[in-house]
Each structure stands twice: as C-alpha cells, then as structure tokens.
C-alpha cells in the first residue's frame, strides 16, 4: 500500500511539472516565432530536438497517468475484495477454531473409542473362543441328549407299566394300611398301658400274646374276606353284564307316548248325532301311534297302556265324552252346566291292556258340547307302561 501511494505522489508531481514545462515551452515557441532574429544553426537544432522531446514525455506521462488511474481502480477493487476476504477470513478463523476444538474432542473420543474397541476385540476373541467351546459341548450334549431321549422313552414306557402296577399296589396298600392303622392303634394303646403299668409287664405279655394270636386269626379272617370279596366282585361283574343286557333290551322295546289338545275353534256341539273327536293339536307323538286326521290311537305292541283325557264345557247343557275301544264303548262321563260361561270340566284316566292293532278313540255324544281354544282346556294323552 505504501509503495502504491508513493508512486501516485511521484506521478502527480511529474504531471504538475510537465504541465508547467508545456506551458513554458509554448510561450517560448511563441516568443521565438515573434522574434524574427536569426539564430545560430546549433541553437536551432537544439530547439528542434527539445520540441520533439516534449511531446514524447507528455505522451508517456498521459499513458502513465492512465495506468495510475487503472491501478487506483484496481487497487479499490482489491481493497474491497480484501475487505470481503478479511471478513471471510475472520469467519474462517472462527470456524477453524471451532473445527480445531471439535477435532481435538473427536481425537479424544476416537482415543477412547480405540481403547474400547481394543477391549471389545479382546472380549470378542474370548467370546468366540467360549462359543467354540460351547458348540463343542453342545455337540457332545446333543449326542448325550439323543441317548437320554431313547432311555427316557424306554423309562417312560416302563414308568407307565409301573404306574399301573403301583395303582394296584396302592389299592392293596390302602387296605393293608387300614389294617395296619388298626393294629398300630391297638399297639399304641398297649405301649401306653405298658409305660403306665410297668408292674403288670407279665400280665401284659400274656395279653400281647393273646393279641398276636387274635391278629393272626384276624389275618386269616381277612384272607377269607378277601376271597369272598373276589367272589362278590365276580358276581358284581355278572350283574353289571346282566344290567347292560336288560338296558339294551329296554332300549329295543318300543316307546309310545302322545299328548294332544282338541282345537282352537272354541265350542263344538251340540250335534244331532255323535261325532268322533279329532284332537288336531299334537304336542307329543312318540312312536306315531296317534293319528290326528282320524282321532284314533292304535296300540303298536301288546302291553299295558295309560290313557287320560280332560273335558271342558263352557255353555248351558251337557258336556260329555264316550271312550271306545275298537267299536265297543268302555266309558261315558258327562257334566251339566246350568249357566253360560260357567266352566265345567273333568279329567279321567284309564289303564288298559291292549293288543297290537287295538284302537282307542273319543266320541262326543249327540246333544253334548265341548270347548277348547288356544289355552288347551280339552286334552287327550296316553303312554305305554310296559309290554307283555
């Protein structure tokens, strides 16, 4: 910067002196032109050389001035760039300081990581060695495990057999323990008596002998009871077999049961002629022995049957029902009501021996009426009690 300033000052001085010289030269030229006196030829040549020199210097000075101006402009640009670069340099120095600090921290951290890495690699080598050892041990253990599995299977099979045998032994042991508890109870009692009655040792010895004898007799008796128990168990098995057979026979026997109601229409009758009552609402009809289309119950097998009917009346007059077996009337029941809407009803049961094909039906006599609706007041039911 100082060198540039010096050059500028020098150029400015030269420019000033050149300007004065140019002015003086011009004056002298004017004066020479105005002075018509002749000069010596040497002076004239000197003056001519001087005149030729001045324009060259001025030209160089102008060129130098232009260069100085360019240098000034360039210098200003450089100053601006230097100012920007100085700002960037400060920022870069700050970032460099931060980076150096961070680098130092990273170097420390890397040193710690290197230490930990070395430790981890050492532990990893130890772990790999331990893993190899464990894999070898696992291979040996797998072989042993296979062998143990085979032995375990055989042992489990044998254990299962032993468990069954132990169950039998447990049953026998329970019986023996019961007898042993009785014997122990008796022995404890004898020992207590022996401790209290030491003076009666001889007598107790005799009693103990008698007790042992009695125990022997009880053992014999238990053996007899065991024999009887075995016989009873055999008979029980025979009885169970017989019961199973009877249950199968009972299962094969026909099952007959029905339960019906008359109608939802309300009052039926009185009519001029008797009519067969057809109980159309069937709730139960096991064995399909009752036919709601005809009102007939047909016995499917020979046996004893229980039959029951309920008759309900709701109007003035007679309410009655006749029971027919095949074409023979076997029962007639009726009730008389003297007022309308005063209920009259009765229920009857029959136990009949019927052969296969016998028919039972109910008849409403002429002049009688019967009532039924959705509440099922008038019903007819029956079932097979047993076959013959």
The model's pLDDT over 277-294, given as tens digits with 9 standing for 90+, comes to: 999 999 999 999 999 999
Peptide linkage before 172 cis (omega within 30 of 0): no
pLDDT the model gives residue 258: 96
Q: What angle do CA 202, 204, 207 make, to 5 degrees?
A: 115
Report how far residue 315's alpha carbon sits from residue 357's, in angstroms, rounded to the nearest whole number.
37
Task: Of 24, 13, 21, give the one whose Cα is nearest residue 65.
Answer: 13
Task: Give per-residue pLDDT as tens, 11-28.
Answer: 666 656 554 544 444 444
Task: Of 138, 132, 2, 147, give the one whose Cα is nearest residue 75.
Answer: 2
Q: What tokens were used for 14?
A: 């030269």
Report how far residue 11's alpha carbon sits from residue 21's, in angstroms, rounded to the nearest whole number.
15
- What's the pTM? 0.39
pLDDT the model gives residue 22: 46
Task: Give per-residue pLDDT as tens, 149-194.
Answer: 888 888 788 878 888 887 887 888 788 788 878 878 887 887 888 6
Question: What would you report as the CA-atom Rg of the chain, rounded to the nearest whole angstrom?
Answer: 71
Please tell me which of 4-13, 237-246, 317-326 the model is most confident about, judged by mean pLDDT: 317-326
- Cβ(287)–Cβ(259) under 8 Å? no
Q: Is the pLDDT of residue 103 over 70?
A: yes
pLDDT the model gives residue 50: 58
Report how far residue 370's alpha carbon sits from residue 279's, in angstroms, rounded to the nearest whole number.
12
What mean pLDDT comes out for the span 67-96? 88
Report how far residue 74's alpha carbon sits from residue 221's, in angstroms, rounded to the nearest whole number.
141
Give the 3-state secondary structure percentages of the chain, helix then strand then coil, rounded to 5: 65, 20, 15
348: pLDDT confidence band, cut at 50, 70 and 90? very high
pLDDT the model gives residue 25: 45
Q: Report the 10 Å Cβ neighbour count for 263.
A: 19
């Amino acid at each position: 910067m100082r060198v540039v300033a010096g050059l500028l000052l020098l150029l400015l001085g030269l420019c000033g002196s050149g300007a004065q010289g140019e002015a003086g030269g011009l004056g002298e030229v004017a004066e020479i032109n105005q002075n018509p006196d002749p000069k010596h030829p040497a002076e004239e040549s000197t003056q001519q050389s001087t005149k030729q020199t001045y324009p060259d210097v001025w030209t160089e000075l102008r060129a130098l001035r232009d260069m100085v101006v360019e240098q000034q402009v360039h210098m200003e640009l450089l100053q601006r760039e230097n100012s920007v670069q100085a700002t960037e340099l400060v920022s870069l120095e700050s970032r460099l300081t931060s980076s150096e600090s961070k680098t130092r921290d990273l170097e420390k951290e890397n040193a710690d990581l290197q230490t930990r890495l070395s430790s981890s690699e050492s532990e990893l080598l130890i772990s790999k060695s331990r893993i190899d050892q464990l894999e070898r041990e696992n291979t040996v253990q797998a072989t042993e495990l296979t062998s143990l599995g085979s032995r375990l299977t055989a042992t489990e099979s044998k254990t299962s057999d032993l468990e069954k045998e132990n169950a039998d032994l447990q049953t026998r042991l329970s019986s023996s323990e019961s007898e042993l508890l009785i014997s122990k109870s008796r022995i404890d009692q004898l020992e207590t008596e022996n401790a209290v009655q030491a003076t009666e040792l001889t007598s107790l010895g005799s009693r103990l002998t008698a007790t042992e004898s009695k125990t022997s007799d009880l053992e014999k008796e238990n053996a007899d009871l065991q024999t009887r128990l075995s016989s009873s168990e055999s008979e029980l098995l025979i009885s169970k077999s017989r019961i199973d057979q009877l249950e199968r026979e009972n299962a094969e026997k026909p099952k007959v049961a029905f339960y019906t109601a008359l109608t939802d229409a309300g009052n039926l009758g009185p009519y001029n002629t008797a009519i067969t009552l057809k109980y159309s609402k069937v709730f139960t009809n096991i064995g399909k022995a009752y036919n709601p289309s005809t009102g007939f119950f047909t016995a499917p097998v020979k046996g004893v049957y229980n039959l029951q009917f309920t008759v309900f009346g709701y109007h003035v007059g007679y309410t009655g029902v006749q029971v027919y077996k095949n074409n023979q009337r076997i029962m007639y029941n009726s009730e008389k009501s003297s007022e309308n809407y005063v209920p009259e009803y009765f229920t009857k049961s029959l136990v009949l021996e019927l052969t296969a094909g016998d028919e039972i039906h109910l008849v409403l006599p002429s002049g009688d009426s019967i009532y039924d609706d959705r509440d099922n007041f008038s019903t007819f039911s029956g079932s097979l009690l047993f076959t013959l």
